[in-house]
Every structure is written in structure tokens, then in C-alpha cells.
Amino acid sequence: MRVAAVGDLHVTEGSAGRLRSFLDAAGEAADMLLLCGDLTDYGTAREAEVLVGELGAVSVPIVAVLGNHDFESGLSDRVTDILSAAGVQVLDGSACEVAGVGIAGIKGFAGGFGRGSLGAWGEPATKLFVQEALHEAMKLESALAKLRTPLRIALMHYAPVAGTVQGEPPEIFPFLGSSRLEDPLLRYPVDAIFHGHAHRGTPEARTLNGTPVYNVARPLLTRTWPDQPPFRMVELPAVSADSAVPGSSKGGS
């Protein structure tokens, strides 16, 4: 199973015709296409319609999550409806199955990593901020628990580990992801994790249990591999018909 993934397309009304070639190439090279949030720049209906046009020739299944930019105009539901009507499966604390591969998806949220994580203490606004990260982690856990396939993928916008945001200015690390998103991935292991958001981060790292985490923010991919189309291709390992299902202790490879 070949998976092509990219995030942070930041489609504007002027993007028509500019993304089609590399999105077509991703669809031709892979068995599915994953979109890791910030699909639009301001989260407008028109931007979503332009993206649908750019995806028009992609014939493989497309699975997406939204990012923070897709919420900017308060029209995230409309953006989701436009993409869904075009056949894109948009996940938000939900799961789907594509050709025997289970995919759990969320947007995720910020809050920091490890000892640098923001705690729910002090002002009500701080507690609300932390609660949003916890809520997204709970949504991810719920989605992961639904998967019953031998191969499993987690799809999100914000980073679940600090490793893939290395390269960004340290002062903005807390706004790029949260370790709270990693916790469900340790309880419900997957084969691969894809996210975006960290434009100047690192292409690959691993969770505490060894699962590969891929930062597929388009600006990062363009800078890291300037001679290649800006999508990340990952081939999932083959599994037998009697392979373990969720609840096993296997990690990624």
C-alpha cells in the first residue's frame, strides 16, 4: 500500500491551476492521498472550491483533516461540506478504511511537548486552552479505538512529538503541537503518523514506541527535496490475513 501525503497547501482563490500537476502526480504514484490540514489559506468556501478543482483528476481515495487556517473564517463546516461533496473523506475525531487500511484523523491542537507542556493551572483562559488539547487527544483516542484493520494510520495537522518540529524557532514550539496527542498513539499503536503545520521542522521522527512520524508540510517538503514533487511517499508494510488487530503491542516500521 503506497501512501502519498502532504499538508499546508494553503490554497487561495489564485491557486487555480498551480497545484494540479503535483497532486495528479501524487495520485498516480500512490494508492491513496492524505491531506494534513491547512488545505485553504483563510478557510473560505471559494478556496475550498478551488482546491476541489485542483483535485479533480486524482482518482485514488483522498482522506483529509482540517488545520488551523481552515477555521480562520468560521466556515470550517462549509469547507468540510464542499470537500465531502467532491468525494474527499474529511476526518475529525472519526475513522475510515481505505483498501484495508484504517485511518484515524483529527486536527489536533497546541500546548507544547514533554516538560514544556502547558498545564491546566491558573487563569480560566489557560485552562480552556489546555482543555482543547485534551479534547483533541480524546477525539484521537476514540477514533483509534474504532480501527479494526491490520494496518493503521493516524492523520493530523498539529505535531504529536517534538522531533518533527525541530528546526522551528524554539519559542514557537508550544504552538506547533502537543505531547498530549502522542498519548493515545502509545495506547493504540499505528503503523505511521502524518502531520503538517511545522513549515520549518524536520521531515521524520518517532514516537516513544518507535512509530514513524512524518511531517509533510508542503513548504518543508519543497525545501528538503527541491527536485521532487512536494508530497511524501510512504509504503506501508505487507501484512498477512491473520495479522493482529488493535490491542496488539506492535509499533510502526
Domain assignment present for 244: no
Domain that holds residue 194: 2-235
Classify residue 170: in a domain, yes or no.
Answer: yes
CATH number of the domain enclosing 64 = 3.60.21.10
Query: Is there a contact between 91 and 63 (Cβ–Cβ < 8 Å)?
Result: yes
- pLDDT per residue over 185-216, tens digit each? 999 999 999 999 999 999 999 999 999 999 99
> Longest C-alpha distance within the chain, in Å?
52
Q: Is residue 250 part of a domain?
A: no
Instruction: Give the distance from CA 85 to its chain's centroid.
Output: 20
- Whether residue 162 lies inside any domain: the answer is yes
Residues of the chain under the 70 pLDDT cut: 239-253
Number of domains present in the structure of the chain: 1
pLDDT of residue 250: 32
What is the reported pLDDT for 145? 97
Q: Identify the bridge partners of residue 94 per DSSP, sorted by sequence position.
A: 105
* Within a domain: 248: no
Within-domain flag for 100 = yes
- Note the pLDDT of residue 237: 81
242 domain residue, yes or no: no
In a domain, residue 21? The reply is yes
Contact 65, 96 (CB under 8 A): no
